[in-house]
Structure 1
Amino acid sequence: MSSSSADQDQSLATPATADDAPAAALRDQRETRKARVRFTGCAAIAVLAVLTLALLGPSGGSDDVASERMGIWLEDVTNQERTQGAPQQTVVNGWTANQLLDLISQQLESGAVTDNRPAVLLTLGVLLLALSMATTPRAGRFMEAPGLHAPRTLKGGTPPWLRSQESRARTATPDSSEESSGTA
């Protein structure tokens, strides 16, 4: 084998012919576009999740519930004023707890309170997962990370810029090192 693995990895980084240059440019544009779509989509889903939590609270007959709850608390205040000692306060607190639990059970039975937030957030999570799967580069493809000039490969061994001089010397055979020193 006349070329070292470093030369093979370097050949992956640069187009071999002029015909490969447009394909490499298109691949770079596609990966850049995917990164922009991924960032924009994640930001939009994050905004939608915050809006969901802020605006889609439980809905239902809140006026009736609020007036009933206010009546329970007013009755509790008047009963607390007439108590004398801890045992009587405990009894009044028990009455108030029973009335509040009755109100909660009436709300649940009537179905007046609906909360759509879990379903919406689950849908947003599925959309985020689909966006991630659609825009993440797949293993085995040649990739170049944004902002870095040295390309990396996902299969085919260690990239040349991570190899030390000792490992390069071990992978090169004496014949190939003589040929490369004679041609340089």
Structure 2
Amino acid sequence: MKTLTLLRHAKSGWDDPVARDFDRPLNPKGQRAAAMMGRHLRAEGLAFDHVLASPAVRVVETLAQVATGYGSDLAPHWDQRLYLASAATLLDLVHELPAGADSVLVSGHNPGLEELVLLLSAESDLRLSVEQKYPTATLAEMRFDVADWGDVKPGRGELVRFTRPRDLDPTLGPDYN
């Protein structure tokens, strides 16, 4: 059994005058949401054998805030290929995951993460929620009845968790600033 958890970066600051999209930092709401998601991961007892992440500033800052809430460093492996990756590229990266890692966290960007969940997961009520929107700092967890990451195939995953920041704290939803 393999478990793949996907975490979209938290809300970034569009008001920050950075020259490159890659360098956009989190805004205060994003920082709060990421720390809240870290506390949620800890409360749910989620642990990861391997963490793979985009090196974009907003992902680096998201994982730093998640680690603060989680109470432990996640020790991510930074991979440039995750920056704005398509679902196809993300699936290639999943297939390359270490054989000994049974529970993996991948943190990156949309639309790739949302498209990967929709590509890999079977029909379910949770999947319908993903189809509606995959907000920033949202977590999706899928399980695959495989022994090797190379055997992960479209439509074969069971989406077992889809948690948005606003599910944990309504003030982190879109109706609040």
For normalisation by structure 2, the TM-score amounts to: 0.18
- Computing the radius of gyration from Cα coordinates, the structure with the larger value is 1
More helix, by proportion: 1
Q: Which has the higher contact order (CA 8 A, sep 6+)?
A: 1
